[in-house]
Amino acid sequence: MFDFNEDEVERYSRHILLQEVGVEGQAKLRESSVLVVGAGGLGSPVAYYLVAAGVGKIGIVDFDEVDLSNLQRQILHSTDDVGRAKTDSAKETLEALNPNVEIITYNQRLGTDNVEDLVSQYDIVIDGVDNFAARYLVNDACVFTNTPLVEGGILRFEGQVTLIDPEEGPCYRCVFPEPPKPGSIPSCQEAGVLGAIAGTIGTLQATEAIKYLLGIGESLIGRLVIYDALQLSFREVKIEQNSDCSLCGAKPEITELEEYTIHCSLQEND
């Protein structure tokens, strides 16, 4: 039944014990694929937990190299990895964790030319990008290709997370129609971020993706959860599809992908 070998049954035993998962759910995870955009602060815990969970295929996109200042939060990478491509370092770490998972890496910058093709090859996408240009690009590509997206962001002592399912609820632009003006929002480089916040938000993103793939629990569609680490509080904001949304509204103005190069210098958070 579901042909898991002995090692796999043991590896996933704590999942299989869960009534909501079981062998069937574990088999579902093995048949599933997730694209993780960014192998940074959020992408690290996301990829770790999805690979540990036995999701069959994980894609990782990143064009950057590991920098010493990344290691405070980007836990996929080690001191010896400084200077290496993040995709190479991530693949090595993740394959050591679980050799049953297929890790596909894309050492490339996301752009209007490749993003739709990439996201449409996966069941769900997780956003762990570090700038608004990429955030809007990924949102728009997911809406155009009807691909669900777990959105997450962190800055200073705060983080937020939501699930965007273009067939069922609001997109990122329904809530934040346009990228902020350059300089209007401080970046991690300027404002800093507590490294462990990436762990909290990334872990929530991984959990929501697993719930979505298994079809269990209450989804985060239409809910934006905001985490304040200094208060240790979670706040939830209801978000609704905006019929005037320039992307997914009744009369969309955006009908093809746009590149926001002007915002690329504005490092937001990752």
Q: Which residues contact Zn ion by CB under 5 A?
A: 171, 173-174, 245, 247-248
For residues 22 and 177, which CB has a smaller minimum distance to Zn ion in the complex? 177
Closest approach, Cβ 225 to Zn ion, in A, equals 19
Closest approach, Cβ 255 to Zn ion, in A, equals 13
Bridge partners (DSSP) listed for residue 36: 60, 126
For residues 39 and 248, which CB has a smaller minimum distance to Zn ion in the complex? 248
Closest CA to 198 of 209, 206, 190, 208: 206
Q: What residue has token string 């009807």?
A: 146
Tell me the residue type at 263: H
Give dist(CA 122, CA 148) in Å, integer: 9
For residues 47 and 245, which CB has a smaller minimum distance to Zn ion in the complex? 245
Q: How many CB atoms lie within 10 A of CB 230?
A: 9
For residues 135 and 173, which CB has a smaller minimum distance to Zn ion in the complex? 173
Closest approach, Cβ 242 to Zn ion, in A, equals 6
For residues 203 and 241, which CB has a smaller minimum distance to Zn ion in the complex? 241
Closest approach, Cβ 160 to Zn ion, in A, equals 17
Closest approach, Cβ 127 to Zn ion, in A, equals 15
For residues 22 and 249, which CB has a smaller minimum distance to Zn ion in the complex? 249
For residues 157 and 176, which CB has a smaller minimum distance to Zn ion in the complex? 176
- Which residue, judged by CB position, is nearest to Zn ion in the bound state? 245
Residues 104, 159, 155, 265, CA torsion sign? positive
Closest approach, Cβ 139 to Zn ion, in A, equals 8
Closest approach, Cβ 155 to Zn ion, in A, equals 23
Distance in Å from the first CA to the final CA of the chain: 41
